[in-house]
């Protein structure tokens, strides 16, 4: 028989480097030496199982939460007079740290009650994104550190660097701008964004547009305030601020809704955005669950994420990019509605210039949204030359709006083809291997090399390792 009783609702608070406090509840029940319960964060509720011995040492195992290939997480703690001392791992790959969890009221930390999502219907089109959206987003480079000053500086740099002239128009604030809500439940921006309306005015004064981020759940992926139950109110706030773009990220919604509720839940915000009367581009982020490409347009979506998060490395980029032929999603891309293989990493340092050219070539063939994810203020001429190559961008922005498909794959060599509005086709000859390869253009015609920016006469190309020949053929 264990000496102590760990039954209760224990709250562990851990401050992130940016000061945001993440709350983790251990809602535990002890029966003899056996402990059961739930681990609750703003993002999920997961069953726990464990034991307690007569010294008060508790060992808890969390059900594998991130897919079968991730290990279950184990937490060890000791029950003491001042609380439950836990050796916590925020992520399996991070070092453990000791946190003292305090007993709080039963029921604290439970997800809010489910609000029944609306019946399905088609959301009125907002008429936006006739070609894939282009701009910049804060997440890949800044994550939780982004501030209003960064966004202002980025708007300035978009103009001075030539990014705006190349077509990059949206300046998008990703997660971590949110505070809580005021007495009337209006969403508030935190101290990093002291005056959102002023920031929007500033971005607009540069001839650019501004985007923001939220979640249909009570909280976002980074644990900030979401739009749950406040969809219309938040849409109206965005419109009043002058927001032009919303990225709406599932995350915390998983605590309340099933995947089968997704379409209706996304539709709710789609309707709310249209009802504001302001054209607000609607970008769905739910990592392609539920075959989102089949219903993304019906909920008013202008783009929908089709993958998990990209990282600034060849493996991540090529895995995402070259898997875009695995389903039938290409046929669903069309003017106003695009598959989104996630944002660009060009210029963030984890890939070579060759690999970044492959990244932009592939994304352009895929008619993907082109959202730069680097710091434009300090971008090198080489990075800017890649990002602003007009002929490559024209491939992405082609008004026919057809997404490329893979034509052939031989070993490490892949050929992708995209039909263009003027009757010509763009071919990407990709070499995924680590040695240079000779690759043949599978058709004849008048050939233009979009990276060399000149007409060429040969039909065989030496493609560097991890590189591409991007060719337009008439």
Q: How far apart are the first and last CA of the chain?
A: 81
According to the binding rule CB under 6 A, does residue 317 interact with ligand GLA? no
The residue (of 20 and 459) whose beta carbon lies closer to ligand GLA is 20
Residue from 27, 174, 175, 249 carrying the catalytic annotation? 249
- Least Cβ distance, residue 433 to ligand GLA (angstroms): 30
Tokens representing 37 are 């319960």
The residue (of 283 and 318) whose beta carbon lies closer to ligand GLA is 283
Q: Interacting stretch for ligand GLA, rule CB under 6 A, among 148-156, 220-228, 347-355, 464-472?
A: 220-228
- Least Cβ distance, residue 119 to ligand GLA (angstroms): 28
What are the beta bridge partners of residue 79? Answer: 84
Tokens representing 121 are 């219907």
Distances (CA, A) of 456 to 365, 424, 464: 20, 15, 18
According to the binding rule CB under 6 A, does residue 345 interact with ligand GLA? no
Q: Interacting stretch for ligand GLA, rule CB under 6 A, among 126-134, 214-222, 326-334, 451-459?
A: 214-222
Q: Interacting stretch for ligand GLA, rule CB under 6 A, among 127-135, 196-204, 217-225, 394-402?
A: 217-225
- Least Cβ distance, residue 306 to ligand GLA (angstroms): 11
- Least Cβ distance, residue 301 to ligand GLA (angstroms): 15
The residue (of 20 and 413) whose beta carbon lies closer to ligand GLA is 20
Phi (first) and psi of residue 287, to 5 degrees: 60, 30
- 245-284 footprint of ligand GLA as x/- string (CB under 6 A): ----x-----------------------------------
CA dihedral 295, 299, 302, 303 (to 10 degrees): -50
Residues 6+ apart with CB under 8 A from 319: none
Tokens representing 305 are 């994420």
Name the nearest CA neighbour of 213 among 160, 240, 250, 186.
Answer: 250
Tokens representing 232 are 């219309």
31 is catalytic: no
Per CB under 6 A, contacts with ligand GLA among 417-456 are none
The residue (of 6 and 222) whose beta carbon lies closer to ligand GLA is 222
- Least Cβ distance, residue 401 to ligand GLA (angstroms): 24
309 is catalytic: yes
Q: Interacting stretch for ligand GLA, rule CB under 6 A, among 114-122, 215-223, 256-264, 355-363?
A: 215-223
Total residues in contact with ligand GLA, by rule CB under 6 A: 9
According to the binding rule CB under 6 A, does residue 174 interact with ligand GLA? yes
- Least Cβ distance, residue 249 to ligand GLA (angstroms): 5
Work out which of 2, 221, 368, 426 binds ligand GLA, going by CB under 6 A.
Answer: 221
Note the Cα 126 to chain centre separation in Å. Answer: 22
According to the binding rule CB under 6 A, does residue 306 interact with ligand GLA? no
Residues 6+ apart with CB under 8 A from 19: none
Which DSSP symbol is given to 225? B
Q: Interacting stretch for ligand GLA, rule CB under 6 A, among 183-191, 196-204, 216-224, 227-235?
A: 216-224
According to the binding rule CB under 6 A, does residue 309 interact with ligand GLA? yes
Name the nearest CA neighbour of 384 among 341, 344, 340.
Answer: 344
The residue (of 227 and 389) whose beta carbon lies closer to ligand GLA is 227
Q: Are 174 and 305 in contact (CB under 8 A)?
A: no
Work out which of 175, 231, 355, 375 binds ligand GLA, going by CB under 6 A.
Answer: 175
- Least Cβ distance, residue 142 to ligand GLA (angstroms): 11
Side-chain half-sphere of 98: how many Cα atoms within 13 Å? 6
According to the binding rule CB under 6 A, does residue 200 interact with ligand GLA? no
Phi (first) and psi of residue 311, to 5 degrees: -125, 160
Residue from 45, 261, 309, 449 carrying the catalytic annotation? 309
- Least Cβ distance, residue 94 to ligand GLA (angstroms): 16
Tokens representing 440 are 């043949």
Per CB under 6 A, contacts with ligand GLA among 115-144 are 139
The burial class, CB within 10 Å (0-12 / 13-18 / 19+), for 44 is middle
Side-chain half-sphere of 440: how many Cα atoms within 13 Å? 5
Work out which of 272, 285, 426, 439 binds ligand GLA, going by CB under 6 A.
Answer: 285
Which DSSP symbol is given to 376? G
Question: Cα(304)–Cα(288) distance, rounded to whole angstroms?
Answer: 7
- Least Cβ distance, residue 290 to ligand GLA (angstroms): 16
Radius of gyration of the chain (CA): 24
Distances (CA, A) of 225 to 149, 229, 380, 415: 21, 12, 36, 44
Question: Cα(450)–Cα(453) distance, rounded to whole angstroms?
Answer: 5
* Catalytic residue ranges: 249, 309
Contact positions vs ligand GLA (CB under 6 A): 139, 174-175, 220-222, 249, 285, 309
């Amino acid at each position: 028989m264990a000496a102590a009783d760990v039954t209760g609702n224990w709250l562990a608070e851990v401050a992130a480097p940016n000061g945001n406090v993440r709350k983790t509840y251990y809602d535990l029940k002890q029966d003899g030496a056996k402990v059961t319960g739930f681990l609750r964060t703003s993002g999920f509720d997961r069953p726990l199982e464990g034991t307690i011995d007569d010294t008060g040492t508790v060992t808890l195992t969390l059900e594998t939460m991130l897919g079968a290939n991730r290990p279950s997480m184990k937490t060890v703690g000791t029950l003491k007079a001042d609380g439950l001392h836990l050796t916590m791992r925020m992520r399996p790959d991070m070092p453990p740290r000791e946190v003292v969890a305090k007993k709080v009221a039963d029921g604290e930390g439970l997800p809010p009650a489910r609000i029944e999502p609306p019946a399905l219907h088609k959301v009125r089109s907002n008429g936006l994104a006739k070609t894939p959206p282009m701009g910049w987003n804060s997440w890949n480079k800044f994550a939780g550190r982004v501030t209003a000053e960064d966004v202002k500086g980025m708007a300035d740099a978009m103009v001075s660097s030539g990014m705006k002239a190349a077509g990059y128009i949206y300046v998008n604030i990703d997660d971590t701008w949110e505070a809580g809500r005021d007495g009337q439940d209006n969403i508030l921006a935190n101290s990093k964004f002291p005056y959102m309306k002023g920031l929007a005015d500033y971005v607009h004064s540069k001839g650019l547009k501004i985007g923001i981020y939220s979640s249909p759940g009570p909280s976002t992926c980074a644990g900030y305030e979401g739009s749950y139950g406040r969809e219309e109110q938040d849409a109206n706030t965005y419109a009043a601020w002058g927001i032009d773009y919303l990225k709406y990220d599932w995350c915390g919604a998983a605590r309340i809704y099933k995947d089968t509720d997704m379409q209706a839940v996304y539709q709710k915000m789609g309707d709310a955005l249209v009802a504001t009367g302001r054209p607000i581009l609607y970008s769905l982020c739910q990592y392609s669950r539920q075959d989102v490409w089949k219903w993304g347009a019906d909920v008013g979506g202008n783009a929908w994420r089709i993958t998990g998060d990209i990282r600034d490395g060849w493996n991540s980029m090529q895995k995402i990019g070259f898997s875009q032929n695995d389903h039938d999603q290409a046929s669903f891309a069309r003017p106003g509605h695009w598959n989104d293989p996630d944002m660009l990493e060009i210029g963030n340092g984890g890939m070579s210039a060759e690999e970044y050219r492959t990244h932009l070539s592939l994304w352009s063939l895929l008619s993907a949204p082109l959202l730069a994810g680097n710091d434009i203020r300090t971008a090198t001429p080489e990075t800017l030359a890649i990002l602003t190559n007009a002929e490559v961008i024209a491939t992405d922005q082609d008004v026919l709006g057809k997404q490329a498909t893979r034509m052939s794959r031989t070993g490490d060599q892949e050929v992708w083809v995209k039909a263009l509005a003027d009757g010509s086709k763009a071919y990407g000859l990709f070499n995924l291997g680590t040695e240079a390869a000779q690759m043949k253009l599978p058709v004849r015609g008048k050939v233009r090399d979009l990276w060399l920016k000149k007409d060429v006469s040969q039909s065989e190309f030496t493609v560097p390792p991890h590189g591409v020949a991007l060719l337009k053929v008439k």
